Chains A and B, each alone.
Chain A
């Protein structure tokens, strides 16, 4: 017998260790190949486009691409004095090309955002070019500054230079009602124009309150469903599952019918004398409508995780608590409630995440005071066509959701998501 330990060999003479590693590797590849089609599909059609939203949201190469010569000659300009003839001439040449391609309007709009009044002086420049009033053989600088005194204001030229970096955070700042002022510092927009901050806060507020309402209504019925005998609870479970499976638009439609001024809810209030017939309150197209409809629509997402956790809690625990002298309340508070915390976490975060990105229901029953950040994103996607701003706001929302999701993962774990 040798002093070295004998290596175990497989029948074909390969050491067992190597052979096992090979098999392990083969299994790994096999498993990965099964996942690969879906992973690839999602990466191409979904994950990369989301990443693309980011580049779209910070992309600011428009002015640079439109005025290539200007930026080249501006490289050495320190921005303190009025630009030289060379810069004026290259700007004139760039602008002439744009005017011929009829793309000068976009430049005007973009630069107007940088410095107010830019659009109107550019329009004057355009008219002068159109009338062929330029003599290219003599000083261009003089001819341009003649058009309007603003052209001799160095601030306007600095505004052009400010757009030089290919990337900008402007859209993100705009989403928070802030902007970069002329010195490049972050400033707040006027108080009466801070619409986005209101929307963010309202979205957060509605998502929070809907989550609280869902919890307050979902906890008791989940408890009832988990403690009732099977034959009753199965029947009552239909009340939770039928809305869950029913189209979102159907449920929204039914709330629109119920909550309208001549609707059944108002009829009921009149009947019990809460309000007078000719003074029916408006319950739709405001926050009330949004709260009521969203709570009903999202309630099943609270009840189902709570139920699946409560189902695993043995009733003998409560009995033991009571028999040891606890009142039903202390037994509940000290024993039952702590055991349901994983379910509460799952339900609340699920409802919160769904509520914060809600769009359809608020748009239909919310009216002006019930619109959320998602409605604003859709508005910029479909109406103003400011896709980079829509992308920026979408990513801000996504960041918020991912933070919440991260907490969810820490508390409950992704693998514990249960679907009925």
Chain B
């Protein structure tokens, strides 16, 4: 963003102020994530940069906390990771199925009461999590599903479906319905049309909605805190407990793994978004 040579001084000053402000904000956004990396390799037990680390002394770094995370005695992370993945995967599948079906119905121009139904379907996104947590807890307790995997999976489906509904509806808004009509006129039944024509075209939207649902479930802690028993602990619940009781570097090792995971998800989501835009013919 080079300035033209004729720019007045005050605009020049303003411009540099603007650029430095932006730099600061970007730094503010991204820098905290990078504090975690080096500290997770700390050889010591404290969560501050030791003198050795500041001088880049190799002895000050170690993989000790990663070992602790994986092999540590009585460590909760293995079970938590297993639970987190099981719950997130099933919740995502459930959200994708229910959400995609609903989005297909909603984007039909024959859909009655569209506004109010859409508002109902995305309400879990608008209602503060704490209230969702309380309400879902009351239901699960009555249904006898508190402290079960099934209960938590249902809870996360509630929170995840709005994302699928929104992304798939958005994808369908640019969808050319004449292709499905063409398929029907050529003798394909509705299920076949959906599997062979509609689904491949809306797949990017479905997957990116699924990613949102996955991350929502994988990162969710408020509702799980109400629902989970000792056997259903998840990674976020363990982190929450750890952060409240004592900050151990093991948490940072876990956090580093989570950042790596989120980077992968970001890349996937970004690739999907571009593909979807290309398919919808939005050129940039």
Give A contacts to B, CB under 8 Å: 24, 27-28, 30-39, 41-50, 52-53, 56, 217-218, 220-221, 224, 227-228, 230, 236, 238-243, 245-258, 260, 262-264, 296, 299-300, 328, 353, 356-360, 363-364, 374, 377-378, 381-382, 387, 390-391, 394-395, 397-398, 401-402, 405, 414-415, 417-420
Complex CA distance for A32 and B225, rounded to whole angstroms: 35
Write out the residue numbers on chain B whose beta carbons fall within 8 Å of the beta carbon of A246.
33, 258-259, 262
B132 adjacent to A46 (CB under 8 Å): yes
- 15 A-B pairs with CB atoms under 8 Å apart are A30-B110, A35-B102, A45-B136, A46-B123, A48-B139, A217-B25, A220-B18, A227-B1, A257-B39, A359-B222, A360-B221, A374-B130, A415-B118, A419-B167, A419-B212
Interface string of B211-232 (1 = CB under 8 A from A): 0100100110110011000000
Q: A46-B158, A258-B35, A300-B29 are in contact. List 12 more A-B contacts (CB 8 A).
A: A42-B121, A53-B138, A247-B236, A247-B239, A247-B262, A250-B255, A253-B243, A257-B35, A353-B126, A378-B222, A394-B131, A397-B128
Instruction: Give the contacting residue for A228; candidates B1, B104, B263; CB below 8 A.
Output: B1
A35 adjacent to B129 (CB under 8 Å): no
9 cross-chain pairs, A with B, having the tightest CB-CB distances, nearest first:
A357-B128, A34-B105, A35-B105, A27-B110, A31-B108, A49-B135, A254-B32, A38-B102, A49-B139
Write out the residue numbers on chain A whose beta carbons fall within 8 Å of the beta carbon of B157.
41
Interface membership of B86, Cβ < 8 A: no
Q: A253-B243, A359-B129 are in contact. Are A414 and B18 (CB under 8 A)?
A: no
Q: A223: shortest Cβ distance to chain B, in Å?
A: 8
Q: How many residues belonging to B are interface residues under a CB distance threshold of 8 Å?
A: 88
Instruction: Give the contacting residue for B111; candidates A28, A242, A254, A356; CB below 8 A.
Output: A28
A241 adjacent to B270 (CB under 8 Å): yes
B25 adjacent to A419 (CB under 8 Å): no
B266 adjacent to A242 (CB under 8 Å): yes
Q: A35-B111, A243-B33 are in contact. Are A260 and B22 (CB under 8 A)?
A: no
Q: A122: shortest Cβ distance to chain B, in Å?
A: 30
Q: B30: shortest Cβ distance to chain A, in Å?
A: 4
Write out the residue numbers on chain B whose beta carbons fall within 8 Å of the beta carbon of A402.
126
Q: A77: shortest Cβ distance to chain B, in Å?
A: 37
A245 adjacent to B29 (CB under 8 Å): no
Q: B82: shortest Cβ distance to chain A, in Å?
A: 17
Instruction: Give the contacting residue for B22; candidates A221, A247, A374, A377; CB below 8 A.
Output: A221
Residue in chain A with minimal CB distance to B48: A262
A254 adjacent to B135 (CB under 8 Å): no
Q: Which of B62-70, B72-80, B178-186, B244-252 contacts A (4 or more CB under 8 A)?
A: B244-252
Complex CA distance for A162 and B122, rounded to whole angstroms: 42
Instruction: Give the contacting residue for A378; candidates B11, B130, B215; CB below 8 A.
Output: B130
Complex CA distance for A269 and B158, rounded to whole angstroms: 45
Write out the residue numbers on chain B whose beta carbons fall within 8 Å of the beta carbon of A32.
105, 111-112
Which of A33, A38, A255 counts the most B-chain CB atoms under 10 A from its CB? A38
Which of A52, A241, A250 counts the most B-chain CB atoms under 10 A from its CB? A250
Q: A164: shortest Cβ distance to chain B, in Å?
A: 26
For chain B, what secondary structure do more than half of its interface residues adopt (helix, strand, loop), or is it mixed? helix
Q: B209: shortest Cβ distance to chain A, in Å?
A: 9
Residue in chain A with minimal CB distance to B255: A250
Write out the residue numbers on chain A whose beta carbons fall within 8 Å of the beta carbon of B48.
260, 262-263
Interface membership of B273, Cβ < 8 A: yes
B135-151 contacts to A (CB < 8 Å): 135-139
Interface membership of B210, Cβ < 8 A: no
Write out the residue numbers on chain B whose beta carbons fall within 8 Å of the beta carbon of A357.
127-131
Instruction: Give the contacting residue for B32; candidates A34, A251, A378; CB below 8 A.
Output: A251
Interface membership of B154, Cβ < 8 A: yes
Write out the residue numbers on chain A whose beta carbons fall within 8 Å of the beta carbon of B28.
217, 296, 299
Complex CA distance for A228 and B270, rounded to whole angstroms: 18
Q: A38-B121, A224-B22, A254-B255 are in contact. Are A28 and B110 (CB under 8 A)?
A: yes
Q: A50-B135, A248-B221, A255-B32 are in contact. Are A31 and B110 (CB under 8 A)?
A: yes
Q: A217-B28, A247-B258, A254-B32 are in contact. Are A381 and B134 (CB under 8 A)?
A: yes
Write out the residue numbers on chain B whose beta carbons fall within 8 Å of the beta carbon of A296.
28-29, 32
Residue in chain A with minimal CB distance to B159: A46
A50 adjacent to B127 (CB under 8 Å): yes
Q: A292: shortest Cβ distance to chain B, in Å?
A: 9
Q: B228: shortest Cβ distance to chain A, in Å?
A: 12
A419 adjacent to B255 (CB under 8 Å): no
A397 adjacent to B29 (CB under 8 Å): no
Q: A291: shortest Cβ distance to chain B, in Å?
A: 12
Write out the residue numbers on chain A whose beta carbons fall within 8 Å of the beta carbon of B105.
30-36
A45 adjacent to B158 (CB under 8 Å): yes
Q: A239-B30, A419-B212 are in contact. Are A257 and B131 (CB under 8 A)?
A: no
A381 adjacent to B226 (CB under 8 Å): yes
Residue in chain B with minimal CB distance to A400: B128
Write out the residue numbers on chain A whose beta carbons fall within 8 Å of the beta carbon of B104.
34
A249 adjacent to B124 (CB under 8 Å): no
Q: A381: shortest Cβ distance to chain B, in Å?
A: 6
Residue in chain A with minimal CB distance to B125: A417
Write out the residue numbers on chain B whose beta carbons fall within 8 Å of the beta carbon of A218.
25
Residue in chain B with minimal CB distance to A405: B126
Complex CA distance for A245 and B260, rounded to whole angstroms: 11
Q: B83: shortest Cβ distance to chain A, in Å?
A: 15
Q: A204: shortest Cβ distance to chain B, in Å?
A: 14
B117 adjacent to A39 (CB under 8 Å): yes
Residue in chain A with minimal CB distance to B28: A296
Q: B220: shortest Cβ distance to chain A, in Å?
A: 9
Q: A50-B131, A53-B134, A239-B29 are in contact. Are A253 and B247 (CB under 8 A)?
A: yes
